Amino acid sequence: MSNTLEVSNLSKSYKGFHLDNVSFSLPKGYIMGLIGSNGSGKTTIIKIIMNLIMKQSGDVKIFGKDHLANEVEVKKRIGFVYDTPTYYDHLSLTQFKNTIAPFYDEWDDAVYHNLVKRFKLPLHKKLKTFSKGMAMKSAITIALSHNADFIVMDEPTSNLDPVVRRELLDFFRELIQDENKSILFSSHITTDLEQIADYITYINEGKLVFSKTKDEIFEMYALVKGGNELLDTYTKKSFVAVKSLAYGFEALTKDVKATRKLFGNSVVYDKASLEDIMFYTNLETENKVKDASTGY
Amino acid sequence: MLALVIKDFRANWKYVVLGLAVLLTLSLSFIYTALKAPFAVDPDLLIYFLLVIVSSIVFSLLFLMIEQMYNTNMLFASLPISRKQFVVQRYMATYLQFVLALGAHFIGLQIGIYFYEVTDQTILEPIYNPHVWLLNLLAMMFINGFSMPFYFKHGLRKGILIIGLIQCFSCISFVYIMISFTEIWDTFQQLIFTIISLNPFVTIPICIASTLLVSWVSTQISISIYKSKDL
């Protein structure tokens, strides 16, 4: 199975932020969701992949080729969608298409018109009058009309209402039926990714927490609920993080087998959602920071 | 590359037409005003050609402002274009804008000359001298070559501020040196007159070559700045 995207040891520092040796890969024909809280580094990774910002170290290979040495060749096969579409909004969609299309040898007007029809986009209305949903659909239409093999989207559904989000997710699912296409899709709306992603890459405070198939993740993580009397320093250590409440505790484990060995049937095991995983991983990071500052 | 160079005109054609109309009107009104005062204020059209240079540069700045306004640098950086190509097209597009601006000025003058029936040869001579227009273009390219690296390094607003400050400082220093050291000023004047009196078939190629050199160096500096810039 060949990889559409290979990211190895990617690092980048800003004031107050450090992307730390992130590595992951996306096989051809799959959807990868890039998750993480705001400011975790998702957009930085996507911008590095698209050469909008410079990496400090590491390698990015797209279609097996270095993304900088083969920038033009690689970008011809990428469809990119920003979180907030950037374009000349005094133009109509047709005028905007006429500005962008000449950059692509593979531009396909038939695909463009199909997408326009599917998304019911007005061709001659000024882009600045478009709703957020229409603007995002226009950006996707433009990004996909050159038969891109790799679609990179930075939070494409974050500002959209549930109806438009659902419509777009269905569209992405259809798109991936073509096994030559791959999608990298960042979002903090984890439910979207639970629906459509095959792989999940989780970034927390610039560090890679995991990059695995969705099934592996849901097998690995579980929510554990039980009485507070079961918790002590030793048992707490078996969890990613624990939330103690008046009526009992709720915790996230990333080793269900070990937790079962420790607690047996005295606790309840629930499937952890991506949101639960993000929440408890953040809690773990916060606790580590707190412990470090108090000297524990 | 062609798609890149013409994208400004394709996407912003209304602004292009409006800008060129303003330049044309500017030259037209200059002729009208100048006729009333029989060119007493600007007999050699020096002020006029200074106006041509400044207004044409402002016209080209319009496109950078639109780019900044819509943040289209980000959009074009995501297209199949290398950063080097992006920088080179910015220079090429600017030169094309200069040529269009000079064209608009020239047409404005022609309309003025036609309607106000200007026949005075002292006025018509510089207007119909292609060397004068070429030197205007070269002067604009020279200024552009000096300014562009600041634009790529600092963006439009900060870039213009820095260039403005440098130019102000240079002008004040120049005037101060010339006033304080009259012998330098005399030598400088003499040098200018010597250059002018030389055969234009020698001076023009020298001017073209030096402007192209400045543009090339400027392009290389801009490429190296933009290649490592975070957008």
pLDDT for residue B41 is more than 70: no
- The structure's pTM equals 0.82
Tens-digit pLDDT profile for residues A3-36? 899 999 999 998 888 988 999 999 999 999 999 8
Tens-digit pLDDT profile for residues A70-117? 999 999 999 998 877 777 778 889 988 988 888 888 899 998 998 898
User: What crossing angle do the helices spanning B46-70 and B130-154 adopt, rounded to 10°?
Assistant: 30
Tens-digit pLDDT profile for residues B124-164? 787 888 888 998 999 999 999 988 999 989 888 888 888 88
The answer on A181 and A119 residing in a single domain is yes
pLDDT for residue A294 is more than 70: no
The verdict on a CB contact (< 8 Å) between B82 and A71 is: yes
Of B72, B228, B230, Cβ closest to residue A88: B72
Domain range for A287 is: 221-294
The answer on A100 and A42 residing in a single domain is yes
Domain endpoint, select from A185, A212, A239 = A212
Mean pLDDT of chain B: 84
DSSP state of B198: S
Predicted confidence at residue A293, as pLDDT, reads 58
CATH number of the domain at A7, please.
Answer: 3.40.50.300
The answer on A103 and A77 residing in a single domain is yes
Mean pLDDT value of segment B23-42: 73
Whether the CB-CB separation of A26 and A5 falls below 8 Å is answered with yes
pLDDT for residue A291 is more than 70: no
B36: confidence class by pLDDT, cuts 50, 70, 90: low
Domain endpoint, select from A159, A177, A212 = A212
Between A206-220, B18-32, B136-150, B189-203, the lowest mean confidence (pLDDT) is in B189-203
Whether the CB-CB separation of A63 and A77 falls below 8 Å is answered with yes
The verdict on a CB contact (< 8 Å) between A75 and B81 is: yes
The answer on A290 and A189 residing in a single domain is no
Predicted confidence at residue A78, as pLDDT, reads 92
The answer on A242 and A193 residing in a single domain is no
CA distance B183 to chain A (A): 52
pLDDT for residue A296 is more than 60: no
Which are the contacts of A49, defined by CB distance < 8 A and separation ≥ 6?
Answer: A5, A7, A60, A62, A67, A152, A184
List residues of A whose CB lies inside 8 A of any B CB. Answer: 47, 50-54, 71-73, 75-76, 78, 80, 82, 86-91, 95-96, 98-100, 102-104
Q: In chain B, which residues have their Cβ closer than 8 Å to the Cβ of A140?
A: none
CA distance A127 to chain B (A): 12
Between A175-184, A241-250, B40-49, B178-187, the lowest mean confidence (pLDDT) is in B40-49
The answer on A259 and A169 residing in a single domain is no
Predicted confidence at residue B187, as pLDDT, reads 81
Predicted confidence at residue A161, as pLDDT, reads 80
Mean pLDDT of chain A: 86
Residue by residue, DSSP assigns chain A as --EEEEEEEEEEEETTEEEEEEEEEEETT-EEEEE--TTSSHHHHHHHHTTSS--SEEEEEETTEETTTTHHHHHTTEEEE-SS--S-TTSBHHHHHHHHGGG-TT--HHHHHHHHHHTT--SSSBGGG--HHHHHHHHHHHHHTT--SEEEEESTTTTS-HHHHHHHHHHHHHHTTSTT-EEEEE-S-HHHHHHH-SEEEEEETTEEEEEEEHHHHHHH-EEEEE-GGG--HHHHTTSSEEEEETTEEEEEES-HHHHHHHHTTSSEEEEPPHHHHHHHHHHHHHHHHHHHHHT-
Predicted confidence at residue B43, as pLDDT, reads 65
A292: confidence class by pLDDT, cuts 50, 70, 90: low
Q: In chain A, which residues have their Cβ closer than 8 Å to the Cβ of B66?
A: 88
pLDDT for residue B39 is more than 60: no
User: What crossing angle do the helices spanning B46-70 and B83-115 adopt, rounded to 10°?
Assistant: 140
The answer on A243 and A197 residing in a single domain is no
Alpha-carbon distance values, B157 to A17, B61, B68, B154, B192 (Å): 27, 11, 9, 8, 34
The answer on A234 and A159 residing in a single domain is no
User: Of A59-73, B22-36, B116-130, where does the model show the most confidence?
Assistant: A59-73
pLDDT for residue B46 is more than 80: no
Mean pLDDT value of segment A257-286: 85
The answer on A278 and A198 residing in a single domain is no
Q: Could you tell me what percent of chain A has a pLDDT over 90?
A: 24
Number of compact structural domains in chain A: 2
pLDDT for residue B225 is more than 90: yes
Which are the contacts of B47, defined by CB distance < 8 A and separation ≥ 6?
Answer: B41
The verdict on a CB contact (< 8 Å) between B231 and A52 is: yes
| A157 phi, psi to nearest 5 deg | -110, 5
Give the separation between CA A184 and CA B82, rounded to whole angstroms: 22
The count of other CB atoms within 10 Å of the CB of residue A103 is 18
Tell whether B194 lies on the interface with A, counting CB pairs under 8 A. Answer: no
The answer on A254 and A203 residing in a single domain is no
Give the separation between CA B211 and CA A285, rounded to whole angstroms: 58
Domain endpoint, select from A149, A184, A212 = A212
Whether the CB-CB separation of B138 and B206 falls below 8 Å is answered with no
The verdict on a CB contact (< 8 Å) between B83 and A72 is: no
pLDDT for residue B56 is more than 70: yes
Looking at this predicted complex, what is its ipTM?
A: 0.76
Predicted confidence at residue A61, as pLDDT, reads 94
More confident residue, B35 or B14: B14
The answer on A270 and A200 residing in a single domain is no
**A173: closest CA among A157, A149, A193, A146?**
A193
Give the separation between CA B120 and CA B112, rounded to whole angstroms: 13
The answer on A60 and A124 residing in a single domain is yes
